């Protein structure tokens, strides 16, 4: 099979991914073998390729927003069978026995593996995945539309929940890429007023078209104080800026696996029972809850598809913020 392989971390401008012929994976008794039909391109893939995250095994095939059709199901698998369409998220597996897993926090499992980072990912024609960590895809979505829902959508939904967003509240979204353009559709479905903070004029236009009440830069003050906020941009300086826009008792969720250092800021920005928390990974329950909601709303992802051979170019465009919505690779 063909797969995009990373042998050495390097800036994406050097095109470090190589399209290679590799041996297809062999599923175990509790696994699925998927024929990949689409794989979203995520900022975390860029961090994996450029070496921003703690080192994982090499060579590695990135990609963790994977849609595929079951080709083989192991003897112990009962939920899925050949021909079923399923999705694969960032969480490849978790131990199931540690204190975090037992508490429903498998996203924090110290023994977890992550698709496209510490386990082989979906920039390939085939993928092996534990059946217990695959999720069914609602029929409302095409393969290309479903792919970004599996990370940008699911982790964005988790961020809204961790920000304690309530129906009808005022929400700030900092950065407006693949995840934020899905989150705004959830927030508007809940009757929330949304303010979007982003540099690009095209992204501001897109935000307003999707129902934002206001769009400006992260340094700009919104028309009224925010109840909740989510930061998607990996820029630490935005944290104090966002805190300055929050009402007392408001909460800020940082939806970034990698971020530049947060500068020192006056305690007054945090005082007044404001809350800051990070968003780390996702759980299976997040995906099982979000995907039916996305179909019911219905969320409409803005998707551009590219051939698998153009993975380096796709990541370079993502780094340059040259994407409205999400990019999806098609094997």
pLDDT per residue over 272-286, tens digit each? 999 999 999 999 999
Handedness of CA 134, 138, 142, 145 (dihedral sign): negative
When pLDDT is averaged across residues 99-109 and rounded to a whole number, the result is 98
Per-residue confidence (pLDDT) for residue 272, from 0 to 100: 98
Minimal CA–CA distance to 160: which of 300, 290, 323, 292? 290
* CATH for the stretch 2-151+281-330: 3.90.180.10
Band of residue 299 on the pLDDT scale cut at 50, 70, 90: very high
Q: Is the model's pLDDT at 222 over the cut of 90?
A: yes
Per-residue confidence (pLDDT) for residue 13, from 0 to 100: 97
Per-residue confidence (pLDDT) for residue 30, from 0 to 100: 98
The CATH superfamily holding the domain 154-278 is NAD(P)-binding Rossmann-like Domain (3.40.50.720)
Whole-structure pTM value: 0.95
Average pLDDT, the chain: 97
Round to whole Å and give the CA distance between 96 and 93. Answer: 9
Pairing of strands 303-307, 275-278: unpaired
Q: Which residues contact 217 (CB under 8 A, 6 or more apart)?
A: 197, 198, 199
Q: Is the model's pLDDT at 53 over the cut of 90?
A: yes
pLDDT in tens, 170-212: 999 999 999 999 999 999 999 999 999 999 999 999 999 999 9
CATH 3.40.50.720 domain position(s) in the chain: 154-278
Beta bridge partners of residue 18, listed in sequence order: 5
When pLDDT is averaged across residues 120-130 and rounded to a whole number, the result is 98
CATH 3.90.180.10 domain position(s) in the chain: 2-151+281-330
């Amino acid at each position: 099979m063909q797969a995009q392989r990373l042998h050495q971390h390097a800036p994406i401008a050097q095109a470090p991914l190589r399209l290679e012929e590799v041996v297809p994976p062999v599923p175990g008794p509790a696994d699925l073998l998927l024929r990949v039909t689409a794989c979203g391109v995520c900022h975390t893939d860029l961090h994996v390729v450029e070496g921003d995250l703690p080192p994982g095994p090499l060579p590695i095939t990135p990609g963790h927003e994977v849609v595929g059709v079951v080709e083989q199901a192991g003897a112990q698998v009962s939920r899925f069978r050949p021909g079923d369409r399923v999705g694969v998220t960032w969480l490849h597996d978790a131990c199931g026995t540690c204190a975090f897993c037992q508490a429903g926090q498998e996203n924090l499992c110290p023994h977890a593996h992550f698709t496209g980072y510490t386990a082989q990912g979906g920039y390939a024609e085939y993928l092996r995945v534990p059946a217990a960590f695959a999720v069914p895809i609602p029929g409302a979505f095409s393969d290309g539309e479903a792919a970004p829902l599996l990370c940008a959508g699911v982790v964005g939904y988790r961020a809204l929940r961790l920000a304690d967003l309530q129906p009808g509240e005022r929400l700030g979204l900092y950065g407006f890429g693949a995840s934020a353009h899905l989150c705004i559709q959830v927030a508007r479905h809940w009757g929330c007023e949304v303010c979007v903070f982003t540099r690009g004029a095209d992204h501001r236009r897109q935000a307003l078209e999707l129902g934002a009440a206001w769009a400006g830069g992260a340094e700009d003050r919104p028309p009224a104080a925010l109840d909740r906020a989510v930061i998607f941009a990996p820029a630490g300086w935005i944290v104090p800026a966002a805190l300055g826009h929050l009402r007392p008792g408001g909460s800020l969720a940082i939806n970034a696996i990698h971020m530049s250092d947060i500068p020192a800021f006056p305690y007054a920005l945090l005082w007044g029972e404001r809350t800051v928390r990070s968003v780390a990974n996702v759980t299976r329950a997040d995906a099982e809850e979000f995907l039916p909601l996305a179909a019911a709303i219905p969320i409409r992802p803005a998707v551009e598809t590219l051939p698998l051979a153009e993975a380096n170019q796709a990541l370079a465009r993502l780094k340059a913020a040259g994407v409205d919505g999400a990019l999806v690779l098609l094997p």
